Amino acid sequence: MELRAFCVILLITVLAVSSQAAKNKKEKGKKGASDCTEWTWGSCIPNSKDCGAGTREGTCKEETRKLKCKIPCNWKKAFGADCKYKFENWGECNATTGQKVRSGTLKKALYNADCQQTVEATKPCSLKTKSKSKGKKGKGKE
């Protein structure tokens, strides 16, 4: 009988503690809420070097916030990490310059970034020509 009473008291205590923790978690989430709707966000500034994890600062009226952000290490510096473009296929190799060119049109500007509507990207022509594989090795019977 005493064991049963102890288990009931223990169960009630655990439920009370967990419901209080859930209530505190909800209140903590509400602290960050703001009436401000016109946020102006700066660019993502990496913590070290020129890519990887970093922070972005935003302001609205007299409020200031920082968000975690990430700059991919393969980003096109000329375009900006917050400008997303839809690119066409690579053009033919220009024999005089030894480069291929393709253009892209603006698809999305994140955090009110100032982005160009169209951009061009270049890359060196490959020395090898790609050949299509004729079949998968090791698959099927011979």
Inside any domain, residue 14: no
Residue 30: per-residue pLDDT: 46
Residue 48: per-residue pLDDT: 85
Inside any domain, residue 129: no
Residue 15: per-residue pLDDT: 74
Q: Which domain holds residue 80?
A: 38-124
Inside any domain, residue 20: no
Inside any domain, residue 16: no
Measure the CA–CA gap between 19 and 43, rounded to whole angstroms.
Answer: 40
Prediction pTM value: 0.51
C-alpha separations of 73 from 82, 106, 107, 122 in Å: 13, 20, 20, 18
Inside any domain, residue 48: yes
Measure the CA–CA gap between 133 and 94, rounded to whole angstroms.
Answer: 27
pLDDT along the chain (142 residues), means of 10: 78 73 54 72 84 88 88 70 89 92 92 87 78 58 51
Residue 138: per-residue pLDDT: 57
Overall domain count for the chain:
1
Inside any domain, residue 56: yes
